[in-house]
Amino acid sequence: MNQRDTLPLSRDAGDDPMVAAADAKAAEPQPARAPAAPTPASSRRAMGQSHIHESARAQVAGAAHYIDDLPEVKGTLYAAPILSTVAHGRLNGVDASAALALPGVRGVVLSADVPGDKLLAAFAHDEPVFAIDTVQHIGQVIGLVVAESVMQARRAVRAVQLDITPLPAVLSVHEALKAESYVLPPVFVRRGNAATGLAQSEHRLQGAFEVGGQEHFYLEGQIAYALPLEQKQWWIYSSTQHPGEVQHWVAHALGIDNHAVRVECRRMGGGFGGKETQAGHLAVWAAVAAHKFGRAVKLRLDRDEDFMVTGKRHPFAYEYDVGFDGTGRITGLKLQMAANCGFSADLSGPVADRAVFHSDNAYYLGDVEIASYRCKTNTQSHTAFRGFGGPQGVIVIEAILGDIARTLGLDAQDVRLRNLYGKDATEGRNVTHYQMTVEDNILHALMPQLERDANYRERQAAIAAWNAKSPVLKRGMAITPVKFGISFTATLFNQAGALVHVYTDGSVQVNHGGTEMGQGLHTKVAQIVADELGLPLHRVLVTASDTSKVPNASATAASSGTDLNGRAAQFAARNVRDNLASFVAGLDGCGAGAVQFKCGAEGGQVISPKKVRAFDDVVKEAYANRIQLWSDGFYRTPKIHYDKATLTGRPFYYFSYGAACSEVVIDTLTGESRVVAVDILHDVGHSINPAIDIGQIEGGFVQGMGWLTTEQLVWTDKGHLATHAPSTYKIPATGDVPRHFKVELWPEANREDNVGGSKAVGEPPFMLAISVYEALRNAVAAGRGGVEATAPVVLMAPATAENVLRALGRMGD
């Protein structure tokens, strides 16, 4: 049952006006949402307008194809995974005789059937394609059963007998730390002298807490379809954020060159980071099976299998020692972060690195020492998830500041403002602990603006009055900011390519290295190309991501999809435009710079000082004169550099900023909670598509809210993931979204030279949900009352009812 329906708001309040006021606020009409500036009809630009998603109509009509919708070639076989039932053990043998006797079963695929390297081509080279002689977690794929139908394969898997001798398993970060069990060596970052800063501090606090992982729960599960072609070539359909990596992994496993493998992805039904590396597993497994049987093979995990096989957001455990003055400004910090990485490295190194980078969030840390441990446990290998370690870094500094404010009896908003990075270099507080200068800090203006817009001070006073009269229900509110670095921390990935083809009828086709997972990347790229060529948006079509068109593309991740691929497509379109401009300039005897491309009331126009021509007519004439009507474009992010050994440099091109004000209510008897109201002011630069950007902000916030409130992953003492289905793992539902949910866009353009003056929007809003966590801790403090109201609040995340009761001191461990 939904918490909104069960939380008894009137239990101890009667007709209290605070309840009525809160309900009235939730029910009031939503303010207008940062509309795009009106565009003159004479220019009709595509960028800056809220165009619908390029696949929206097809998706509503059920005509948008995902991999499981594609027509299957004759003779396609279907695979189902054989999963380990032991968290750690010696694999002695696999008895598939009973499975092979079942109708339709064609055979099994094991490690011995891998024709190439039996280890995946991951950067750490520490994960087998299929388990070889040991198993490392419950749910590890030991092999496949291949059959003539999906259900035949799944039924046959149940008949496979595994001979596994159990070995001791490490199932928590605490056990891993004690055993020094790591997937990668620990990393230490220091600035100044933390020990001296702490010793000289006016006040000091120590604390420890944990945040859980998170299941990606994409609507379309992991899937791959491998088709063997002639002459040892392959066509792989993969639901992946990184087709280039899938290509490399498949080629590596089959022992062939990359050029023999073509990977295609038209769209994913969600990714959230879970299909950055781990989509490659499915593609390799399907390809190895197809290689063995010489037939096309499809492999789709059902929801339970997806939970058991794939990695999650990394759970983190923290210990800290912080010093601060009487105003709440931090004067020294020692921080330990231990990431539960699972059984292999996967992307844990860069995830943990980004957690280190973002452990400052928006605040200057002068004397600081950070220890980052990448712990190896016998669970699924945890992987990328929206924010990529950033949320796990941001939440710890926000929790520290919240407890500092509580200890000093100050409003946390004032403490946060007190600790912000300086506005510019003159203040001497604008260099991060990894030696990057913060040049574009807008939070000194943005946070007070949100405070005013949300009536923060007045509502805080009303909440205090409410809590004084309400013995059971307690409210809390908090404003938290985000400063999120945009770029891949691995500098080499900050590059992109694109192709733009103009056909003789004036229509345009675009292909780029990014992938569409519902976030609107293809829509934005089409808008950028349309404006570059002066065309209506409907004249531009973006096609499926395809390694045979744009090679070596980076993953669509790190919130950089539009920054990289949009700019590459813009450059490709600009090359074609320049070709056409030079052609028209030759016809009219003017300079090419005098030729303009604009979208008018009747479509694309090419305007010279002498004549206005239809774009379509210019294209036809240019073709007749053998002018090139297609081009490639390439972009590499400028200014960035990063020393991986010291974790110093400028890993990010710029920062995206934002802040959220969240109000919550908790029931101190049951531990139930709900979010009452949310106000967000977020920085996307000059938005390319305001509707898509606001959708990303809303979706990111709600997903972050789920991570911190209801989405609890529970492993048993045997290492079995108990929460492996929607019945036990609870993502937010529509009823969990607050009725008052206001999103506004900060109006300033990106100060760096980014495409359209825009900023990335995919990941930064996720961290705005930390305001919900801080509001819950404030409500818990109010619920404890007395001296306890000013003591640090240890609230394990997610803040389930049980964890809220524990934080209140009303439930034993």
**Rounded to 5°, angle at Cα 719 from 716 and 722:** 45
Average pLDDT over residues 779-805: 94
Query: Considering the chain, what is the average pLDDT of its residues?
Result: 94
pLDDT at 27: 52
State the sign of the Cα–Cα–Cα–Cα dihedral 733, 735, 736, 741: positive
Residues facing residue 648 across a β-bridge: 643
Task: Work out the pLDDT band at 813, boundaries 50, 70, 90.
Answer: low
Weakest-pLDDT range from 40-44, 273-277, 337-341, 531-535: 40-44
Which tokens is 652 given?
């990010």
Residue pLDDT, tens place only, 110-161: 999 999 999 999 999 999 999 999 999 999 999 999 999 999 999 999 999 9
Residue 698 burial by CB count (10 A; 0-12/13-18/19+): exposed, middle or buried? middle
Q: What is the pLDDT of residue 41?
A: 40
Q: What are 241's two structure tokens?
A: 């954020």
Q: Which of 498, 404, 455 is nearest to 661 (CA)?
A: 455
Q: 547 and 247 in contact (C-beta within 8 Å)?
A: yes
Q: How far apart are CA 568 and CA 50, in angstroms?
A: 22
Asked whether the CA dihedral 662, 396, 700, 805 is positive or negative, the reply is negative
Mean pLDDT, residues 331-359: 98
Q: Report the candidate in 407, 405, 383, 398 with the shortest Cα–Cα distance to residue 335.
A: 398
DSSP, res 351 = H
**Residues 627 and 621 sit within 8 Å (Cβ to Cβ):** no
Q: pTM to 2 decimals?
A: 0.95
pLDDT tens digit sequence for 52-95: 999 999 999 999 999 999 999 999 999 999 999 999 999 999 99
* Alpha-carbon gap, residue 782 to 478, rounded angstroms: 13
- Give the pair of three-digit tokens for residue 286: 């399907």
Angstrom distances, CA of residue 5 to CA of 1, 416, 665, 701, 800: 7, 34, 13, 22, 16
Distances 318 to 67, 87, 338, 395, 590 between C-alpha atoms, Å: 41, 25, 6, 10, 66
- Residue 627 amino acid letter: I
Band the pLDDT of 554: cuts 50, 70, 90.
very high
Nearest CA to 661 among 681, 689, 641, 632?
A: 681
Structure tokens at 287: 């390809």
% helix, strand, coil for the chain, step of 5: 35, 25, 40
3 state SS for 534-549 = CCCHHHEEECCEECCC
> What value does the CA radius of gyration of the chain take, rounded to a whole number of Å?
28
Using pLDDT thresholds of 50, 70 and 90, give the confidence band for residue 812: low
Please state, as a whole number, how many other Cβ atoms lie within 10 Å of the Cβ of residue 208: 10
What average pLDDT does the segment 12-35 reach?
A: 44
Write out pLDDT tens, residues 620-671: 999 999 999 999 999 999 999 989 888 899 999 999 999 999 999 999 999 9
Euclidean distance between CA atoms 438 and 424, whole angstroms: 8
Mean pLDDT of 677-691: 98
Say if residues 367 and 191 touch (Cβ distance below 8 Å). yes
Q: What token pair was written down for 654?
A: 């710029």
Q: What's the number of CA atoms in the CB half-sphere (13 Å) around residue 789?
A: 12
- Rounded to 5°, angle at Cα 56 from 51 and 57: 110
List Cα–Cα distances, 529 to 40, 570, 587, in angstroms: 19, 6, 25
Asked if the bond preceding 71 is cis, omega within 30° of 0, the reply is: no
Answer yes or no: is pLDDT of 544 > 60: yes
Please report the DSSP string for 177-199 in residue order.
HHHT-EEEEEEEEEES-HHHHHH
Active site residues: 763
pLDDT digits (tens, 9 = 90+) for 418-445: 999 998 776 789 999 999 999 999 999 9
Task: Spell out the alpha helix ranges (H) of 454-566.
Answer: 456-469, 521-533, 561
Residue 22: pLDDT band (50, 70, 90) is very low
Percent of the chain with pLDDT over 90: 92
Quick one: pLDDT at residue 6? Answer: 35
pLDDT band with cut points at 50, 70 and 90 for residue 543: very high
CA atoms of 336 and 576, how far apart (whole Å): 53
Count CB-CB contacts under 10 A for residue 32.
8
Q: How far is the C-alpha of 66 from the C-alpha of 58, rounded, in Å?
A: 12
Q: What's the pLDDT band for 462 if we cut at 50, 70, 90?
A: very high
Strands 316-324 and 203-211: antiparallel
Token digits of residue 690: 């305001």
Question: How many angstroms separate the Cα of 315 from the Cα of each of 334, 717, 778?
Answer: 20, 17, 23
Question: Strand order of the sheet with strand 740-746?
Answer: 473-486, 654-667, 673-683, 740-746
Q: How far apart are CA 608 and CA 616, in angstroms?
A: 15
Mean pLDDT of 196-217: 98
Reported confidence tier of residue 788, pLDDT bands at 50, 70, 90: confident
pLDDT recorded at residue 23: 54
Contact present, 218 and 274 (Cβ < 8 Å): yes
In angstroms, the CA 258 to CA 267 distance is 22
CA pair distance 474, 807, nearest whole angstrom: 14
- Residues 772, 210: Cα–Cα separation, whole Å: 16
Average pLDDT over residues 510-514: 98
Mean pLDDT of 604-623: 98
Q: Would you state the pLDDT for residue 810? A: 87
Phi, psi of 393 (to 5 degrees): -80, -45
pLDDT on residue 470: 97
Closest CA to 124 of 316, 372, 385, 341: 341
Strand-strand pairing, 641-643 and 648-650: antiparallel
Structural contact between residues 695 and 51, judged by C-beta atoms closer than 8 angstroms: no
SS (H, E, C) 279-324: HHHHHHHHHHHHHHHCCCEEEECCHHHHHHHCCCCCCEEEEEEEEE
Greatest CA separation found in the chain? 85
Phi, psi of 799 (to 5 degrees): -85, 65
β pairing state of 234-238 and 612-614: unpaired
* % the chain with pLDDT above 70: 94
What's the pLDDT band for 18 if we cut at 50, 70, 90?
very low
CA 138/CA 331 separation, integer angstroms: 45
